[in-house]
Structure 1
Amino acid sequence: MELHCAREVFTSIFKTGAVTKKCCGELKVLGKVCHDAFVKKTLEDPIYKNLSESAIVKKSTKTWNTCALVIDISPSSSA
C-alpha cells in the first residue's frame, strides 16, 4: 500500500477523513484480515490509549464497508 493511501485509511479510522477509490482498491489488495490486524495493533500503542476502542472499531468497519461500496469487495458482517 502506498504511503499516502495508508495515511488516508489511518485518518479515516483514527481521525476524520475519507478514502479515495484508488486507496480503497489498495485496501482491497491487503484484505480484511490485514485491515483488522492494523487497527488492533495500532490500538495497542500507548499513544492511542485514550481512544474509545468501540468507536475505532466502528469507524474501521465503516471505512471497510464504504470501500466495499466503492469497489467490489464483501462488506464486513460485524458492526
Structure 2
Amino acid sequence: MAMLKNLSALTILLAVTIVLLPRATFATVGIPDCAKGVTGDCGFGFFKIIVLGDTSTPTGECCRQLVKAGKNCHNQFVESIVSSRKPIRGTISDVYRRSNETWNNCSATISVSPPEPAH
C-alpha cells in the first residue's frame, strides 16, 4: 500500500513538472526569436558584458553570431533586459552605452554577407 502511495505521489509530481516546465523555461529565457542562432555561451557572455559590466571581450565566433543576428535583434535583446527590470550594473544609460560599444566592436571586426535573395 505504501508503495502505491509513493507511486501516486511521484506520478503527480511528474505531471506538475511537465505542465510547469515550458512556462518556467519561457519566462526565464526572454530571448527574441531572431537570436536563436546565438549560442547560450555567447548570449551569456554578451549579457555579462552589456548588463553586468564585465570587461572581457567577446570571441570572434560570438561576434559573428551577433552580427549575423543583426543590429535590430541585438537591440531587441537589450530592450528585453532593460524592460524586465533585472538588476544591472550602473544606470540604464550605461547598459545602452555598453550595448553600442559591443555592437560597434563586433561589427567592425566581422564581415557578414547579406542573405541570398529569394528566387
TM over 0.5: yes
Q: For the residues of structure 1 that align with 2:111 and 2:74, how far apart are their CA atoms?
A: 16
Structure 1's unaligned 5+ residue stretches are 74-79
CA change 1:44–1:12 in 2 (3 A) is same
Deviation at residue 46 of structure 1 after TM alignment: 2.6
Alignment equivalent of 1:5, drawn from 13, 24, 42:
42
Percent of aligned positions that are identical: 27
RMSD: 1.7
What is aligned with 1:47?
Answer: 86
Residue ranges of structure 2 left out of the alignment (5+ in a row): 1-37, 113-119
* CA shift in 2, pair 1:41/1:70, >3 Å: same
Q: Where does 1:1-79 land on structure 2 (aligned, <5 Å)?
A: 1-15=38-52, 16=54, 17-48=56-87, 51-72=90-111
Secondary structure of 2:57's partner? coil
Q: Work out the number of aligned pairs and report it.
A: 73
| Counterpart secondary structure, 2:86 | helix
Of the structure 1 ranges 42-51 and 25-34, higher mean CA displacement relative to structure 2 is found in: 42-51
Moved over 3 A (4+): none
Q: Between Structure 1 and Structure 2, whose CA radius of gyration is higher?
A: 2
Deviation of 1:51 (Å): 4.4
Q: Matches of 1:14 and 1:49 in 2, distance apart? A: 5
Code of the aligned partner of 2:40: L
Cα gap change, 1:29/1:50 in structure 2, threshold over 3 Å: closer, same or farther? closer
